[in-house]
Structure 1
Amino acid sequence: MLPGGRAPSFFDLPGAGAELLGSRTWGVPGAAVRTGRKDWAMTEQPRRPVATYATYQEAERAVDHLSDQGFPVERVAVIGQDVRLVEQVVGRMNYGRAALHGAASGALPGALIGWLFGLLDWVDPLVSALLVALYGLIFGAIVGALFGLLLYALQGGRRDFASVRSMEPGRYDVVVDEAVADEAVRLLGGLRTSGVGGRPAPS
């Protein structure tokens, strides 16, 4: 028993768990963490946006440009701002399409499960796996089609369309540690004038 009547735990073993050094807290600049294998400093530098881009590809190209110029890219982050939900309608939903979507979603898991069960045959595992995977694909497609039809029937015609949802930021900010932000602005200045589409980040 430990002082206070507490039973020993894993974290009481030498070198186990993590221990904060000093009076600083986790995530605060300058906090250090000790583990059983090594010590390191966890620093959180203040960051400043240096450029804003309309697409992720442009922001990605900007970071790649900084890397090509020898800039310490580990001090760079790309942050998506003004995130919105976009639901793209891809077609009308009916019983045939519902069955087709259900069959497609059930075929792959069925084939994978069949392949795994087929590998248990020690005589000829490859042939058995392929054969059982084929059976699993067919069975999964049938079960998936039935579930697709059932779910569509339960909706009672309230959602007669198929759609794909995605989260899309309105812009992408390239942010850099304050200590090297001026250098990043200088390096990205030439890239912006080359028609990449970036603009200075709002202050």
Structure 2
Amino acid sequence: MSSPLGGRRPAGPPRLPTPPTGWPIASYGTYGEAQQAVDYLAENEFEVGDVTIVGVDLMLVERVLGRLSWGRVLGAGAMSGAWFGLFAGLLLGLFVNHGFALQMITGLVLGVLSGLAFAAIGYRMSRGRRDFSSASQLVAGRYDVLCQPRTAERGRELLAKLSLRPSAGDA
């Protein structure tokens, strides 16, 4: 297949969302178990390029970390602004012939002030509709391991051997 510029398209996953292909050779309750299965296949000289891990029954899980307050919001804004300000000060200091320390301090102060301002504006505009911080994660109800038909039977046999081995928790 060629690219629009006339060269060959690089090998790898497709660029557009594409449904997975292959036959199911195993199913696991966690991603870690599915990953362990693929690692086992690789250790046994299996062609893992034929394998795909597919998360099925996707859920968006939002874990609430804590309550937001003005102190937390302003503290987080100051910290993120400080990091950005130090980075900007470092870049300025590298390209200006004099006053490296002054450039760093200026960047730090301006970064903290702008971080405080943006955090305060954003929190004030929310008007208390979201007074908590959280972390979101995409999780699947199960993880299927698919394999191309040409190697699926061997993959099933290897994973059957893996399931017969005693787990580390059984020892």
Please say whether Structure 1 and Structure 2 have the same fold, judged by a TM-score greater than 0.5. Answer: yes
1:102 aligns with 2:77: yes
Q: What does 1:52-71 correspond to in 2, within 5 Å?
A: 52-71=27-46
Give the structure-1-normalised TM-score: 0.68
Identical amino acids, percent of aligned pairs:
37
Q: Distance in 2 between matches of 1:54 and 1:177?
A: 22
Q: In structure 1, what is the equivalent of residue 16 of structure 2? A: none
Q: Secondary structure at the match of 1:159?
A: coil
Secondary structure, aligned partner of 1:88 = strand
SS of corresponding position for 1:169: strand
Which residue, 171, 174, 178 being the options, matches 2:149? 178
3-state secondary structure, aligned to 1:116? helix
- Worse overlay, 65-74 or 140-149: 140-149
Alignment correspondent of 2:129: 158
Alpha-carbon distance in structure 2 between the residues aligned to 1:79 and 1:46: 10
Where 2:165 maps in the other structure, the secondary structure is helix
Distance in 1 (alpha carbons) for counterparts of 2:163 and 2:105: 54
Structure 2 equivalent of residue 91 of structure 1: 66
2:89 is aligned, of 99, 114, 137, to: 114
Of structures 1 and 2, the one with the larger relative CO (CA 8 A, separation 6+) is 2
Q: Which secondary structure does the structure 2 equivalent of 1:82 belong to?
A: strand
Distance of aligned partners of 1:137 and 1:56 in 2 relative to their CA distance in 1, 3 Å threshold: farther
Deviation string 1:19-70 (CA, Å, 9 cap, x unpaired) is xxxxxxxxxxxxxxxx3x79x9xxxx95111111122221111111101100
SS at match of 1:119: helix
Q: Which residue of 2 aligns with 1:81?
A: 56
Task: Describe the shift of the 1:168–1:158 C-alpha distance in structure 2 as closer, same or farther (beyond 3 A).
Answer: same
Number of residue-to-residue matches in the alignment: 156
Are the aligned partners of 1:67 and 1:73 in contact in 2 as well (CA < 8 Å)?
yes
Q: Is the 8 A contact 1:49 1:173 kept in 2?
A: yes
Go from structure 1 to structure 2 and tell me whether the alpha carbon gap of 1:133 and 1:174 turns closer, same or farther (over 3 Å shift).
farther
Aligned Cα root-mean-square deviation (Å): 2.6
- Residues 147-190 of structure 1, C-alpha deviation per residue, up to 9 Å, x if partnerless? 11121112222221111122112221111101110000000111
1:157 to 1:179, Cα distance in 2 relative to 1, 3 A? same
- Distance in 1, matches of 2:87 and 2:128, equals 33
Which ranges of structure 1 fall in alignment gaps of 5 or more residues?
Answer: 1-15, 19-34, 197-203
The answer to which of 73-82 and 187-196 deviates more is: 187-196
Letter in 1 for 2:157: R
Output the CA distance in 2 between the equivalents of 1:178 and 1:75.
9
**Contact 1:46 1:178 (8 Å CA) reproduced:** no
Which amino acid in structure 1 is aligned with residue 91 of structure 2?
L
Normalised by the size of structure 2, how large is the TM-score? 0.79
